Amino acid sequence: MQYTNAIPEKKPHILVCNDDGIDAEGLHVLAASMKKIGTVTVVAPSEPRSGMGHALTLGVPLRVKEYARNNRFFGYTVSGTPVDCIKVALSHILTEPPDILVSGINYGSNTATNTLYSGTIGAALEGGIQHLPAIAFSLTTYENADFTYAGKFARKLVRKVLREGLPSDTILSVNIPNIPESDIRGVAVTSQGKSRWAENTIERDDMYGNPYYWLSGKLELLDNEMLYDEYAIRQNYIAVTPVSIDMTNHDALNNIRQWKLKR
């Protein structure tokens, strides 16, 4: 198995991004946690950009701004998607590649098919494409979020990844239950679950009587063993899923070759 990174001898340089935007609490907790072990650069969307997946911005110029918090420089905003943030950070903001990229901590779990929709994971995958070890962190709640333990676990896992490296073309997606540390039962290394959104797109009429639609739905649980991320988090485990940049279904190649397709 190949590895993407060497163990840095020096204090690591850690690039921090997210998809909830520069103001999100999860980003601040993650940045603060990373500052305890390395030099941190924050580059995050200027606005919340959830559900952006691996989207990038084409045909629209991007703006980069310095962002202060409590009158102190905190990081940079990019007027685009999480993937845009990584592209601009690596090409224009940083003078050399960071040792590792961390993304999050996201409000809400990124398990199962959310792996495809998630901008938090999108940012990490873009890091992977650009040969960085990268980890996406998500807290499994939208409400009453307490990022304290998630920030602590993130630091522990970053240290581990800096030591061990990651398989090439692979990032980690980490989902952390929003429960007290003492209630967490352990860490499960999982696959992307089979659970899907049961669509429930809402139709309403505007002031002119014309309909509009809101995407909505509910995650339908289709996972019933610890192999899967969505099941593991519901059992109060942290779920660590290795996510590949290569989306090929390799098992299907021979099957489709037997079709003997001709031009």
Q: For the segment 71-110, give every residue that binds its own copies (CB under 8 A).
A: 81, 83-84, 87-88, 90-92
Of 200 and 224, nearer to its own copies (C-beta) is 200
Of 10 and 257, nearer to its own copies (C-beta) is 257
Nearest to 36 by CA among 86, 102, 134, 127: 102
User: Which residues within the stretch 195-234 sit at the binding site for its own copies (CB under 8 A)?
Assistant: 196, 199-201, 203-204, 210-215
Instruction: Kindly tell me which residue out of 71, 95, 144, 255 binds its own copies, with binding defined by CB under 8 A.
Output: 255
Q: Distances from the Cα of 124 to the Cαs of 54, 82, 179, 186, in angstroms?
A: 10, 9, 25, 24
Of 8 and 97, nearer to its own copies (C-beta) is 97
User: Which residues within the stretch 137-156 sit at the binding site for its own copies (CB under 8 A)?
Assistant: 153
Peptide bond into 171 cis (omega under 30): no
User: Which residues within the stretch 17-46 sit at the binding site for its own copies (CB under 8 A)?
Assistant: none
Least Å from the CB of residue 39 to its own copies: 22
Determine the straight-line distance between the first and last CA of the chain, rounded to whole angstroms: 37
Instruction: Kindly tell me which residue out of 63, 73, 142, 220 binds its own copies, with binding defined by CB under 8 A.
Output: 63
Lookup result for tokens 């239950």: 177
Instruction: Kindly tell me which residue out of 8, 25, 35, 57 binds its own copies, with binding defined by CB under 8 A.
Output: 57
Of 27 and 83, nearer to its own copies (C-beta) is 83
Of 8 and 48, nearer to its own copies (C-beta) is 48
Sign of the Cα torsion 80, 16, 247, 2 reads positive
Least Å from the CB of residue 199 to its own copies: 5
Task: Give CA–CA dist 97/5, Å, rounded.
Answer: 11
Q: What is the DSSP string of 188-212?
A: EE-BPP--EEEE--EEEE-TTS-EE
Task: Give CA–CA dist 210/206, Å, rounded.
Answer: 5
Q: Binding string to its own copies for residues 166 to 195, with x set by CB under 8 A, is what?
A: xx-xx-x--------x--xxxx-x-xx-x-
Instruction: Kindly tell me which residue out of 56, 94, 222, 226 binds its own copies, with binding defined by CB under 8 A.
Output: 56
Of 10 and 260, nearer to its own copies (C-beta) is 260
Task: Give CA–CA dist 54/190, Å, rounded.
Answer: 22
- Our measurement of the distance from residue 150's CA atom to the centroid of its chain's CA atoms, rounded to an integer in Å, reads 14
Instruction: At 200, list the tokens.
Output: 């429930």
Q: Is 248 in the site for its own copies (CB under 8 A)?
A: yes
Check residue 221 and report its DSSP letter.
-
Of 32 and 56, nearer to its own copies (C-beta) is 56
